[in-house]
Structure 1
């Protein structure tokens, strides 16, 4: 056999080896790893793609747990529990991540005119939607409302302080913040792509295998399915809906999305708001604020944060801000309206 023929065979073997290596690497890139854990009162679902995905997902779960230990008012030694316990006694030093989350909450509070208020805890604890929901007495609700005012929360170089009797609850930002944590880990690990879902918040990172857009279903408020799908690139999606936590008393249904100005569940004509933005914590805060405000009053708020939203009204109609119109593919609006109780 001549040298030329040997060279051709050797070259072919090298090409096959390279092709096999590239095929293996692509397979590793496209192979999903999934992990389900529990934190912040919700299952945290992760699906990641790329080398090191298993380790990254485990690290993300660990960091989400650490985040909960810092920001949950239910955790005895958390930043927020210590802040609430020290209300009226001067500033409390904070972890920078907690302080940053409070800054986001205060900014949304200010720009929404108080529709989102991180000091809602005195009121929300009366309703106790998480464990033993009840209709508060008028007098106790009025007293609690007097202790709700985000403008009284002070962030200073010495720490964070609250007036006596007030309390902070970061529950409306926590799951979005968890998605922020997860995506920061994915980015640091150099993953090809990943999705982190915590309750009503979703974080989308990198590219989906095959290069198509990520598909995020928007839940049907009146059924088990969805009203349609959002096709999105990287970013964060958070949904607030009146169907999430409810109870009935004397024929009236009460939901957990409280209007800070009244102390009662918001009556904005909406049953669901889905917000898309570049931050998980921000999208979470905005979805609550927009639900309280209603569609029309939400538009300037969304614009101020360069965020987009999808609104589902009580009559079953769906509206999107311009940036989501092409991204959203609805199911039949007639079917949705027909399912409405």
Structure 2
């Protein structure tokens, strides 16, 4: 298994871009890079409203974050292929070098940095059933969508307003 820091680099780029925009222009900024959302500077009225949805037919939620906070989502629904008759995805369990068990379709976390949020979402996908306890202990707001489409909200993630 080769260590791939692409997801971490993307999250770091979102963090740095939001901070750079604010530093250079003195305005609030929200930067979204493929599921990684970073903010900096002054909030818009009511905070930053972020829609969370992976595929068009997946359940959707909205979360409000204040400036300086980030949202990241890891998904097993994109970057997929079939190998030897088995569906595969790109998030690997480092113990085996194989795709993590498909317990969660997506995991989304709110954290003080996009790098932290992204790291937690990927770790949650790899942990499978142990993800909810890990995220509860972290105290972070999180939303997990199970393989069957069931949505689990923890740590203060807002309830679905339907």
Task: Compute the TM-score of the two structures, normalised by the length of structure 1.
Answer: 0.43
For 1:12-27, list aligned pairs within 5 A: none
Q: Secondary structure at the match of 1:187?
A: helix
Paired residue for 1:247, among 61, 78, 81?
A: 81
Q: Could you tell me how far apart the structure 1 residues matched to 2:73 and 2:54 are?
A: 11
CA displacement 1:90-115 (0-9 Å, x = unmatched): xxxxxxxxxxxxxxxxxxxxxxxxxx
Q: Secondary structure at the match of 1:177?
A: helix
1:196 Cα shift? 0.3
The structure with the largest alpha-carbon Rg is: 1
Are 1:320 and 2:148 matched, yes or no? Answer: no
Paired residue for 1:259, among 69, 93, 111?
A: 93
Q: Secondary structure at the match of 2:93?
A: coil
**Runs of 4+ with >6 A deviation:** none
Q: Secondary structure at the match of 1:323?
A: coil
1:227–1:295 CA distance, 2 compared to 1 (3 A): farther
For 1:119-134, list aligned pairs within 5 A: 120-121=1-2
1:298–1:224 CA distance, 2 compared to 1 (3 A): closer
**What residue is the counterpart of 2:64 in the other structure?**
231
Q: Could you tell me how far apart the structure 1 residues matched to 2:98 and 2:75 are?
A: 15
Any stretches of 5+ residues in structure 1 without a counterpart? 1-119, 122-167, 332-341
Query: Contact (CA 8 Å) 1:238, 1:275: kept in 2 or not?
Result: yes
1:181–1:302 CA distance, 2 compared to 1 (3 A): farther
CA displacement 1:124-167 (0-9 Å, x = unmatched): xxxxxxxxxxxxxxxxxxxxxxxxxxxxxxxxxxxxxxxxxxxx
1:225 Cα shift? 6.5
Q: Could you tell me how far apart the structure 2 residues matched to 1:265 and 1:238 are?
A: 20
CA RMSD in angstroms, aligned pairs only: 2.2
1:299–1:263 CA distance, 2 compared to 1 (3 A): same
**What residue is the counterpart of 1:12 in the other structure?**
none
Q: Which has the higher contact order (CA 8 A, sep 6+)?
A: 2
**What residue is the counterpart of 2:43 in the other structure?**
207
Query: Contact (CA 8 Å) 1:240, 1:273: kept in 2 or not?
Result: yes
Paired residue for 1:286, among 120, 124, 140?
A: 120
1:295 Cα shift? 5.0
Q: Could you tell me how far apart the structure 2 residues matched to 1:225 and 1:191 are?
A: 37
Task: Compute the TM-score of the two structures, normalised by the length of structure 2.
Answer: 0.85
CA displacement 1:234-253 (0-9 Å, x = unmatched): 21111000112011234421
CA displacement 1:58-102 (0-9 Å, x = unmatched): xxxxxxxxxxxxxxxxxxxxxxxxxxxxxxxxxxxxxxxxxxxxx
Q: Could you tell me how far apart the structure 2 residues matched to 1:260 and 1:174 are?
A: 19
Q: Could you tell me how far apart the structure 1 residues matched to 2:148 and 2:161 are?
A: 16
Q: How many residues align?
A: 160
Q: Could you tell me how far apart the structure 2 residues matched to 1:226 and 1:175 are?
A: 25
CA displacement 1:14-70 (0-9 Å, x = unmatched): xxxxxxxxxxxxxxxxxxxxxxxxxxxxxxxxxxxxxxxxxxxxxxxxxxxxxxxxx
Query: Contact (CA 8 Å) 2:104, 2:125: kept in 1 or not?
Result: yes
